[in-house]
């Protein structure tokens, strides 16, 4: 949680100051995306069969994590951007 918050605050601060922040934004997006998918996956595992029921919010968050992966770019996509920005590619 603290790592996500730090990465997001740093990217937001750089954006508000008008500094180039493509690397920091991609770092935040990649990390938060991975954590969100992991948490949703573990919630489904923890709750077992009840997690597949539409009576609970867990399936909603699981589907939302998959949709966010598509809508905002995959973790690998953002890692490629970070690699380009630091000169590895």
Q: Let me know: does 30 contact 75? Beta carbons within 8 Å.
A: yes
Quickly count helices (H) and strands (E) in the chain. Answer: 4, 0
pLDDT of 11 reads 96
pLDDT of 51 reads 75
Question: How far, in Å, are 10, 18, 61, 75 from residue 37 at the CA level?
Answer: 22, 31, 9, 10
pLDDT of 56 reads 84
- Domains parsed from the chain with CATH numbers: 2-85 (1.20.140.10)
Round to whole Å and give the CA distance between 66 and 36.
9
Q: pLDDT by residue for the chain (89 residues), tens digit each? A: 799 999 999 999 999 999 999 999 999 999 999 999 999 999 988 988 787 788 888 888 888 998 998 899 999 999 999 999 999 98
């Amino acid at each position: 949680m603290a790592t996500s918050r730090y990465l997001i605050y740093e990217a937001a601060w750089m954006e508000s100051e008008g500094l180039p922040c493509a690397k920091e934004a991609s770092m935040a997006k990649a990390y938060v995306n991975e954590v969100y998918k992991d948490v949703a996956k573990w919630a489904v595992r923890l709750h077992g069969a009840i997690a597949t029921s539409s009576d609970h919010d867990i399936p909603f968050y699981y589907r939302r994590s998959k949709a966010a992966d598509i809508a905002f770019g995959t973790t690998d996509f953002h890692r490629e951007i970070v690699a380009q920005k630091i000169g590895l590619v």
